Structure formats: structure tokens, C-alpha cells
Amino acid sequence: MPPGILERLRDAPALRAVAGEPGVWVVGGAVRDVLLGREPRELDLVVEGDALAVARRAAERADGDLTVHERFGTATVRAGDDEFDLTSARRERYAAPGALPEVELGATIAEDLARRDFTVNAMAVAVDDGRLEQVASAWPDLQAKLLRVLHDRSFADDPTRLIRLARYAARLGFTAEPHTAELAARADMAGVSGDRMGAELRLLLAEPRPAAALEALARYAPRFLPGLDPAGVAATLEAAPDDARRDLLALAAAWTPDDATLERLAFPAVDRRILAAAARAPGLRAALDHAETPSAVRRVLRREPVEAAVLAGGEQAARWIAEWRHARPEITGSDLLAAGLEGPAVGAGLEAAAEAQLDGRAPDRETQLAAALDAARRRPPRG
């Protein structure tokens, strides 16, 4: 076992705040990442004993704010830009597959580690002396880059661990050991509530390599994403501009859920609107195939989110994404009001100027104004 795990974490504000407190452990991903030579994303602290009392003293030392969750034995300390959680060591029992666990506080660190998802996340280092506690095979599995559940009912107790399996496989470049892969393939997510499933799915899509995470999910939970085309997802993300929602693009390229499913999964309304537009991509592509000018492309895509254009694909959409959607006429509505236009004629004039500019017929302010006024004159009268 490599020495000096704690030394890599000594400067963390959380550890300074709990210095001298007995029974405090750094657990899970931070220990795993240090052993892998990675920078830990965050520190999770578990206390053998009263985490709330430790958290109160830590908040005083850090001159920070404290949020306490008495029922769950957890607390959050915020000091400046830093935030960390402390949790009392616990045992868990699942009354039914997919249900939230029944929690019992007062556990040892060994009991707390035994309730976790994979062996490589079931490691802890004591803050006071750097002592390492781990479940059997945790260190060998880390060396072998294997993801192994701690017991055969792991996925039955909490089927969302299937999604976490895919997340860790993509993020760490690990694979499921054969028995874990076999258990995953037989697991059923039907008993999980929609909001829990959606929360785990959104975490998966937020991974740095969402295409790889979706591919891992399709590999280990084939019932969840049948017929996934990993190359297609990767190509879609490759075409995405910086302002596109890569998480939603990855999902739309892998799966086309209806709005009722997205609502059940507790996707926010704005995400559902983007995904609904993305589902229109085949129709947009057909319309783009008949668009012979940049202005015709604009009429197809101007009211669509950029994600829909990415999924529509093709040269016309690529030009729209990279170039045409950013074009703006030099004239404004004020110019048209000053020229005597009013009401809807102003909007129609600006539209005409934008289209003329894109098509190269109005490269400057003067010609754009002329195009706008000409469109207004040709506009049929109201009523």
C-alpha cells in the first residue's frame, strides 16, 4: 500500500477544521483518487460517533456557517468558498428493492464501508494518524482497475448503482469484474423512483466523457439503452459548439424519451424543451435538404435550440452553427422606427435585412436598410 495518503490531503480546509478530532475518516472517492495519483474532487468525512458535534466545533474553527440534518446525522460546513460534509458512520438496510435505505447510526467505520457500492470506494483513512481501513480486495481491485460490488444483492438493493457503475467505468477507465458484470446484466431498475433515476442519469451525463459513460451503461445494463450507437453519440458531441448542452446532446443522441418520461425522471422544464426540439431533428434535416440559401437555412433553424441543429447534421446545419447564426444586421429597430415603420413592420423589416445580409445581397448598413424598407412596403396591409 503506498504511504502518505493523508499528506496529499493535509492542506484541505476540511482537514484543518477537524484537526485533533478523534474518529474522523476521509472515505470513498478522495482516498481512491489519491491512490490513483488523481486530484480528489471533494472530501467526504465520516465520523465514528457524533458527526454533528464534530461539525459544530469544525464550523467554529473555520469561522464558517453550519447546516445540520439531525434526522440523517449529517452536517454541512461552509467557510468562504469551501464546503464540506460530515456524516455519522451508519449501517443501512433495504426493506424493498429500489427503496431508500433504512439508516441506523452508531456504526463503526468498517460497518460504514460495508454498505458502499464498489470495493474501490470502500476505503477510508483516519485523519488523526493516517491509518487505512478497507474492505477485502479494495486495494487489489484498485490496482487491477476493477469495479466489484460488495455483495450479490448490491444492485437489487439499489439499482441506481448500475448507473454509478457506468459513471466510474467511464471516468476511471475501469471495467466491471466478471461476477459484477453478470449481476448488473440481470438487474432490474423498475423499482426505482423516477426522481432518483433521473438524478443519477443527470450525474452520468455530466461526466467529462458522457459518450463513454453511456456506452458503459449500455454494456452493463443492456435493458436500459438497447441499440445504442456509441460512435454516433461521440460524433454528435464532436460537432457540438461550446454553448451547446453536451449532456442533453449525449442523451438525445442515445435515446429519445417522450416528455412524460422526462417529467417522471424530474428533468427541468428547460431541459425537456431542448430535448423535445432535439427529437424534431429528422424533420429539420429534411427541411434543410431543401434549403438552397443561407436565409432559407435561417428560416428552418432560427427558433430552434442549437442542440437541435447539431442533431440535424449536414453541411447546412454546420454552417449555421459555426457562422450564420452569429450574423447580425448593422441596423436596429430604432433605425426602422426613425424611417417611419411601426408595429409588426419593424420586425418584418429586421427579418428581411438579416436574410439579405446572410445571402450577400445587403453587405452594409445602407443596403440592409433598403432591404428592410422594401420588405415593409411589400408587406400586405393589416386587416
216-267 pLDDT, tens digit per residue, is 999 998 888 877 888 899 999 999 999 999 999 999 999 888 889 999 999 9
pTM over 0.75: yes
CA distance 191 to 260: 18
> What's the mean pLDDT in 355-382?
89
Q: Is 88 helix (H, G, I), strand (E, B) or coil?
A: strand
Domains of the chain: 1-140 (3.30.460.10), 145-228 (1.10.110.30), 243-325 (no CATH), 333-378 (no CATH)
How many Cβ atoms sit within 10 Å of the Cβ of residue 96? Answer: 9
Q: How confident is the model at residue 96 (pLDDT cuts 50, 70, 90)?
A: confident
Q: For residue 150, which phi and psi values (nearest 5 degrees)?
A: -85, -20
267-288 pLDDT, tens digit per residue, is 999 999 999 999 999 999 999 9
pLDDT at 100 over 60: yes
**Residue 275: all three cell numbers together:** 430535448
CA distance 240 to 230: 16
> What's the mean pLDDT in 84-92?
91
| C-alpha closest to that of 341 among 302, 296, 306, 373 | 373
CA distance 32 to 121: 6
